[in-house]
Chain A
Amino acid sequence: MIASEEQQEYMRSGHMACPGCGEASTMRLVLKVLGEKTIVVIVPSCVGVISATFPNSTFKVPCFHSAFEIAAPTAAGIANALRVQGREDVTALAFAGDGGTFDIGLQSLSGAADRNDNFIYVCLDNEAYMNTGIQSSSSTPQGVWTMTTPGGRQGRKKKFMQIIAAHRMPYAATASIGHPHDLMAKIRKAKNIKGTKFIHTLTPCPTGWRMPENLSAKAAMLAVETKLFPLYEVIDGTEYRITHQPLGLPVQEFTKIQGRYRHFTEEDTAILQREVDDEWEQLVAKTKGCKL
């Protein structure tokens, strides 16, 4: 099963992502699992660029370039139409960035999750508006440099999975290309659950994170192993389960390879480390003894 999935490609080479793009790699893995019976909804974001211009198409499956704030109701509309047509073997899949999910698309995602419409929503989180040239979003971590936070962002990264859990969706999970088999297993799981499924992926962006283009997979892996971006799933908004035990590396292993953290003082890093440790403890407490 896994072997055959890994051989299939649903993204064409020659797409328009920057070299080393974490989003392109993430989408490739997601589509390998979902296969040809998938309708992809994309919205303005880096994906809108990666998907290529007319008459080219990066995706080998049907794709609809919808509007910025409506990834969820678009996928939901498709899913309900598929139900009317008796084509429920087809998966409706939405790809949206952190801006399209944490900010402008939050309301419509909440509405679709409340109705529990049957689709998979994959948030490709590169922690800023990268498509428009690196502007801060509510997913940008505190203190991080962007073009609109030249002195470092004041606000803190929105705890989005808590918002998602509050909707009591049947399935939600975090994943990244640093742990590709974990990511693919979660997509496989989501494919077989009815209702709204949310996958929060951290997608490193060499351009916006100010790092060499060969470090995306490593950065994604380090985000997990430093406990900055733990890998877990949430069933029905209540049952938490950590899917990978992180090594617990110091956070600077993740931050030191990125220019957007260059101005961080030792104190800044210490604050970040404390926050990461606190949040990890809160997450472990939520698992209530659920084992790996």
Chain B
Amino acid sequence: MKTLLQGNYAVAEAVRLARVQLVAAYPITPQTPIYEKLSDMENEGILPGVMMRTESEHSAMAACIAASLTGVRTFTATASQGLALMHEMLHFASGNRVPIVMCNVNRVVAVPWAFGSDQSDSLSQRDTGWLQFYCEDAQEALDTVIQAYRIAEQALLPVMVAIDGFFTSHFIEPIEIPDQASVDAFLPAFSIPTRFNEADPAYIANVVNPEQYMGYRQKSFEDMENTRPLIKEANEEYQRIIGRGYEAVESVNTDDADIVLVTSGAMTSTARVTIQSLREKGVKAGLLKMKLLRPFPTREVQEILKNTRKIAVLDRNISLGKGGIWCQELKAALYPLENRPIITGYIAGICGADVSPDMIEDMVVKALERERSDDLPIWVRRDQ
């Protein structure tokens, strides 16, 4: 049976089902309904854990790190400025190897002040050592949060689950909420031992020398690489027990495509409709949905796109001085291919600006006409 829920509430349901023992949070638009819903659950006695209402996102993450080291399952959610304020703690979490799961509701970062969706907030945390998943809709957000706990706790690395502000976070969608027994079968009870054992005391996060530091970073890098099979296995197991799953990279009609459109997040749903209508008009277009940013699914995209001649990448984010971040990541991943495709980068939907099917259709058609890759992105704006 499906329930009508906004994406933020779907995330809160996932936190409850994951039997999270400690939530630390701070309000920020458009994440706040997650915090409020978890507070309601605590008030009703259906959230088994402790709620810490911290005075900032920075302290929320600090508390999650400390609690996770003590040996309990933790959660926090944030967005935009809150994630930026947490930046120091993001490095601290991955360095301490704590399996925290966080939902980031994508929102532009000031200035100018605004509230719409933009992945720049979480994409700019790319190098902090967190796994990052981008979700298309509320159902995927719920399922991904539950999957994230299993992956995080096996890998001992933190996981960020990103959803588009106001689109995924606030749209009300029919959601299938898994039953507790199924989630329990998928996600074992938190079993990471406390790092604070009085009988065998240790010093956590000691000061090290350059060789030790570099060795630790290499080990962390290798452990991040080793999450690839864990991500795949978690999804297969989730599919087996709960009946739904999501590939790290999903391809639609790419095999015979003359052009493949690459998207991530909520825009993907619009792109699906557009690809279908282009096919009906005789344009052989395919779609590639990027869910996983770190570890980057290099082999998967190489395999899917090795025979594709033309690619258009839609980025709802911008790195000043370079371009769309997914486009740059994809270009780097495809560089080793023998027949490198012609890639066109589009910047669209920044701050939740409209990205309609006809706009996407126009982008695909124009990218199909291009004969060379351009380093600079093309800005697609309704007002121009």
**Does B associate with A?**
yes
Check if A111 sits within 8 Å of B203, measured CB to CB. Answer: no
Type the 1/0 row for B82-95, where 1 means its CB is closer than 8 Å to any CB of A.
Answer: 00000011001000
Task: Give chain B residues whose Cβ lies under 8 Å from the Cβ of A115.
Answer: 52-54
Cβ-based interface call for A61 (8 A): yes
Task: Give chain A residues whose Cβ lies under 8 Å from the Cβ of B89.
Answer: 67, 70
Check if B59 sits within 8 Å of A111, measured CB to CB. Answer: yes
Given contacts A64-B196, A66-B205, A78-B196, contact A84 B50 (CB under 8 A): yes
Instruction: Name the contact of A55 in the complex, choosing from B53, B55, B205, B206 (C-beta under 8 A).
Output: B206
Residue count of chain A within 8 Å CB distance of chain B:
45
Cβ-based interface call for B208 (8 A): yes
Complex Cα gap A90–B197 (Å) = 10
Check if B55 sits within 8 Å of A67, measured CB to CB. Answer: no
Complex Cα gap A67–B58 (Å) = 11
Chain B nearest CB, measured from A147 CB (Å): 23
Check if A65 sits within 8 Å of B71, measured CB to CB. Answer: no
Looking at A51, A111, A112, the one whose CB has the most chain B CB atoms below 10 A away is A111
Cβ-based interface call for B66 (8 A): yes
Given contacts A54-B206, A55-B206, contact A77 B196 (CB under 8 A): no
Check if B63 sits within 8 Å of A73, measured CB to CB. Answer: yes
Check if B67 sits within 8 Å of A80, measured CB to CB. Answer: yes
Cβ-based interface call for B65 (8 A): yes
Type the 1/0 row for B52-81, where 1 means its CB is closer than 8 Å to any CB of A.
Answer: 111110111011111111111000000000
Complex Cα gap A117–B24 (Å) = 13
Cβ-based interface call for B320 (8 A): no
Check if A83 sits within 8 Å of B55, measured CB to CB. Answer: no
Instruction: Name the contact of A65 in the complex, choosing from B22, B50, B206 (C-beta under 8 A).
Output: B206
Cβ-based interface call for B43 (8 A): no
Q: Would you list which residues of chain A between 5 and 28 have a CB under 8 Å from chain B?
A: none
Q: Name the prevailing secondary structure of the A interface residues.
A: mixed
Instruction: Name the contact of A77 in the complex, choosing from B24, B58, B195 (C-beta under 8 A).
Output: B24
Task: Give chain A residues whose Cβ lies under 8 Å from the Cβ of B196.
Answer: 39, 62, 64, 78, 90
Nearest B residue to A16 via CB reads B207
Cβ-based interface call for A252 (8 A): no
Check if A73 sits within 8 Å of B72, measured CB to CB. Answer: no
Chain A nearest CB, measured from B47 CB (Å): 12
Type the 1/0 row for A19-62, where 1 means its CB is closer than 8 Å to any CB of B.
Answer: 00000000000000000111101000000100111110101111
Check if A53 sits within 8 Å of B56, measured CB to CB. Answer: no
Nearest B residue to A60 via CB reads B201
Type the 1/0 row for B182-214, where 1 means its CB is closer than 8 Å to any CB of A.
Answer: 000000000000111110011111111100100
Cβ-based interface call for B122 (8 A): no
Check if B208 sits within 8 Å of A67, measured CB to CB. Answer: no
Cβ-based interface call for B120 (8 A): no
Task: Give chain A residues whose Cβ lies under 8 Å from the Cβ of B344.
Answer: none
Complex Cα gap A76–B70 (Å) = 11
Instruction: Name the contact of B72 in the complex, choosing from A61, A84, A114 (C-beta under 8 A).
Output: A84
Cβ-based interface call for B106 (8 A): no
Check if B50 sits within 8 Å of A80, measured CB to CB. Answer: yes
Chain B nearest CB, measured from A282 CB (Å): 29
Interface contacts beyond A59-B203, A61-B198: sample of 6 additional A-B pairs, CB < 8 Å, sorted by A? A73-B63, A74-B63, A76-B66, A81-B21, A81-B68, A108-B55
27 inter-chain pairs at a CB distance below 8 angstroms, sorted by A residue, are A36-B198, A39-B198, A51-B203, A53-B207, A54-B212, A61-B201, A62-B195, A63-B201, A66-B205, A67-B89, A73-B60, A76-B63, A77-B62, A77-B64, A78-B67, A78-B69, A80-B22, A80-B52, A81-B66, A81-B71, A81-B72, A84-B67, A90-B196, A107-B55, A108-B58, A108-B59, A111-B55
Binding site for B on A (CB under 8 A): 36-39, 41, 48, 51-55, 57, 59-67, 69-70, 72-78, 80-85, 90, 107-108, 110-112, 114-115, 117
